Chain A
């Protein structure tokens, strides 16, 4: 039993040693590297999928090692948890000791003052206690805490200042802990959802409505604020050279069932409502089409968002699916194609030359057949299912390059018209209850860091004794400073001041001094009794 306890204690000491903390710090830095070099699921699922396609043998191995989700992997968590345990084990005893130090007086002077990093001996003609009084006065003026003791080798003095250094140190490390807790809380109770909204459309805050969402394990649907947002207008503005100048979205928002309010959000300016934030994270175009069937039935201005493939020119790709052509129709219709806000035909290939919709054009393939939407397999809304095309379930029945207002007629007389376009915005709603804590922790971390790095902790010790030849007093002073490089000049300045003060005191207190001197008029300072 005692042996187990001893071993545990040894492990604990090893874990909380500074050397271990250093190793863990390096491990943490090294462990973060693959998270930036390999594609991460949290950043881009599609990049991970592509990596799997490019490295079919390597990728599954890396996946087993959590290398596509480094920052949520157990081994990354193991490192930082060990680091934080080590930190707790280091900081808590230090905090207790610091509290004791604050309450008690500065420690006793070491026996050999001349072994301190800075030390010197002065001689004075004052009696020992009076000489020590002079030192005490100088130190008190410099805001030292001073205590006098009767040491074995004579009267001595200990002084200390700069307690804020250790306070800052502790604040810094405890803030790190608080920051981690805030981060964890945000991950557990936070969520975010993204959705593409075309002008005139909207969404309410519910996981069913989002295109993609991620939520912490402790979030349930009922926790979501019933916030609804409608996109009334989206504007993208560009500089003359094509640089994006601003993206702004006019929104109406409000709690479900309550009155809606209007606001405008943009890049760097999200909407903030009670812990929920709505961002515009992207934008694009939804070309709309009018389809008139041979029997005269028409579908007016149906549109679908086309995803930008090139942000500089907003060249986009997408698909429009018409699964239900009305009673009696067995075939389904779909368009897949390319949208250029400012189209230019290079040969027969349509390219986009400008992100603004100056001359919108589409290049479309029209398919007829079975889309496979009810097959049970999920499929992207932005493209057709290639396997349906490969299996000849979908047949290409037309291709066309169209400007707004132009139309193409299919083999059966169906007319497809590129009728116009709307803009869509990619909106994101985020909820992170931990971020306020994290910010507060980060600020106190910085405050602690400044205290720790800028304040010096200085200890000064002094001892007096009679001079060996019996004439006067020998005053030994030593100092120990943490957190400063220029200790020598500061110590020299201190001893110079003490020397001057001793000389002054000597002159004013010696009744048989040759002359009253110019300073003689100054009132003699009261010498405090020790």
Chain B
């Protein structure tokens, strides 16, 4: 039934993916660290020796032009990310082949797939708008952390699906939930970075921010906010569809389409929070930082829904497979 060699290959590929992502983080950090600021600070030091180095307010539209070295490091980091993503995808493919089913039947597989979606979403963003490559360390860092935690605490060996999950709807409901979650993951990180960067920009506008700050290397606050919003806009209909598909499945599996099972309740809470985020961005007094906070809360709700509801509370969605 279960092909042990494929299952073992899947587990090994998981480690490979973690290693490649970690190397990507190192490369992204190197890109941030050995960027181009020597040129500018030298210039500034020459002008006002001894004075604290500050960013010119005009230099805030994005990271300053890169040195060839930094660009090379960024390219290496992106290549490592893509390689890691390939290994990561192979983890799921081999596991699916080992168990002869869709590879999201328990929490380990679900969370692994969510992280893969986040990596793919980031890669697509970074390839389409190269300025977003600079958030790589901040995306891949949490990715590595998540992968390590998943490997340590959520691991479940390859096995057959429980009866309740043997349905066509697994492919619809769980797949879209994974997509939505992974996209919200990237959106939430963009909002966190926006919150950091926008405060930095306020300080910089007042002439109080050091140009050596890591935040100077991030895309502009406006770009981060736009990225967060666009990814959330992309993820929201997918999440809505996932919830609706879940309700349709629940109707044939549990006898009712909605029953305030803990997972359903938190999926609803997440939906309401993301709806609030999309509204907040167009509401006077909520634009900018307050709405970004709402997006961050949305991600926190998604993570809570995954961890707490599966592992602590008892409900119908107890498919964690973690003892």
Binding site for B on A (CB under 8 A): 18-19, 21-22, 25-26, 28-29, 32-33, 35-37, 40, 42-43, 70-71, 183, 192, 239-241, 243-247, 266-270, 277, 279, 281, 428, 430, 432, 435, 438-439, 442-443, 445-446, 449-450, 453, 485
What are the residues of chain A within 8 A of B233 when measuring CB–CB?
Answer: 453
A266 CB to nearest B CB, Å: 8
A499 CB to nearest B CB, Å: 26
Q: Is B279 an interface residue (CB 8 A)?
A: yes
Contact A36 B266 (CB under 8 A): yes
Look across to chain B and name the residue whose beta carbon is closest to the beta carbon of A484.
B230
Contact B260 A40 (CB under 8 A): yes
A32 touches which of B164, B248, B269, B286 (Cβ 8 Å): B269
B275 touches which of A25, A33, A239, A432 (Cβ 8 Å): A25
Q: Is B61 an interface residue (CB 8 A)?
A: no
- CB<8 Å pairs between A and B, sample of 23: A18-B279, A18-B282, A18-B283, A19-B285, A22-B283, A25-B272, A29-B272, A35-B260, A43-B261, A43-B315, A71-B260, A239-B159, A240-B1, A245-B163, A246-B166, A267-B164, A268-B169, A269-B252, A428-B255, A430-B256, A438-B257, A439-B248, A449-B240
Q: Is B262 an interface residue (CB 8 A)?
A: yes
- Chain B interface helix/strand/loop/mixed: helix
A446-B240 contact in complex given A28-B272, A36-B266, A267-B163, C-beta closer than 8 Å: yes
Contact B253 A268 (CB under 8 A): yes
Give the CA-CA distance A36 to B266 in the complex, in Å. 8
Give the CA-CA distance A25 to B159 in the complex, in Å. 41
Q: Is B292 an interface residue (CB 8 A)?
A: no
Q: Is B207 an interface residue (CB 8 A)?
A: no
Binding site for A on B (CB under 8 A): 1, 159-164, 166-167, 169, 226, 229-230, 233, 236-237, 240-241, 244, 247-249, 251-262, 265-266, 268-269, 272-273, 275-276, 279-280, 282-286, 301, 309, 313, 315
Contact B236 A239 (CB under 8 A): no
Give the CA-CA distance A32 to B266 in the complex, in Å. 8
A171 CB to nearest B CB, Å: 13
A132 CB to nearest B CB, Å: 33
Give the most central of B244, B255, B283: most A CB within 10 Å.
Answer: B255
What are the residues of chain B within 8 A of A247 when measuring CB–CB?
Answer: 163
Contact A485 B226 (CB under 8 A): yes
Contact A26 B276 (CB under 8 A): yes
What are the residues of chain A within 8 A of B226 when measuring CB–CB?
Answer: 485
Give the CA-CA distance A173 to B1 in the complex, in Å. 48
Give the CA-CA distance A269 to B31 in the complex, in Å. 55
Give the CA-CA distance A157 to B230 in the complex, in Å. 31
A442-B244 contact in complex given A240-B1, A244-B162, A268-B253, C-beta closer than 8 Å: yes
Besides A19-B283, A243-B159, 17 other A-B contacts (C-beta < 8 A): A25-B272, A25-B275, A29-B269, A29-B301, A32-B272, A36-B266, A36-B309, A239-B1, A245-B160, A246-B163, A246-B166, A267-B253, A268-B164, A269-B252, A281-B255, A430-B256, A485-B229
In order of increasing CB-CB distance, the 9 nearest A-B pairs are: A36-B265, A36-B262, A29-B272, A25-B276, A268-B167, A244-B163, A279-B255, A18-B283, A29-B269
A267-B276 contact in complex given A32-B268, A435-B251, A435-B257, C-beta closer than 8 Å: no
What are the residues of chain A within 8 A of B159 when measuring CB–CB?
Answer: 239, 241, 243
What are the residues of chain A within 8 A of B252 when measuring CB–CB?
Answer: 268-270
Give the most central of A28, A42, A268, A430: most B CB within 10 Å.
Answer: A268
Contact B286 A446 (CB under 8 A): no
B174 CB to nearest A CB, Å: 14
What are the residues of chain A within 8 A of B164 when measuring CB–CB?
Answer: 267-268
What are the residues of chain A within 8 A of B280 when measuring CB–CB?
Answer: 22
B264 CB to nearest A CB, Å: 9
What are the residues of chain B within 8 A of A35 when measuring CB–CB?
Answer: 260, 265
Give the CA-CA distance A152 to B237 in the complex, in Å. 45
A429 CB to nearest B CB, Å: 9
Look across to chain A and name the residue whose beta carbon is closest to the beta carbon of B241.
A446
What are the residues of chain B within 8 A of A241 when measuring CB–CB?
Answer: 159-160
What are the residues of chain A within 8 A of B273 when measuring CB–CB?
Answer: 25-26, 29
Give the CA-CA distance A415 to B70 in the complex, in Å. 89
What are the residues of chain A within 8 A of B161 when measuring CB–CB?
Answer: 243
What are the residues of chain A within 8 A of B229 when measuring CB–CB?
Answer: 485
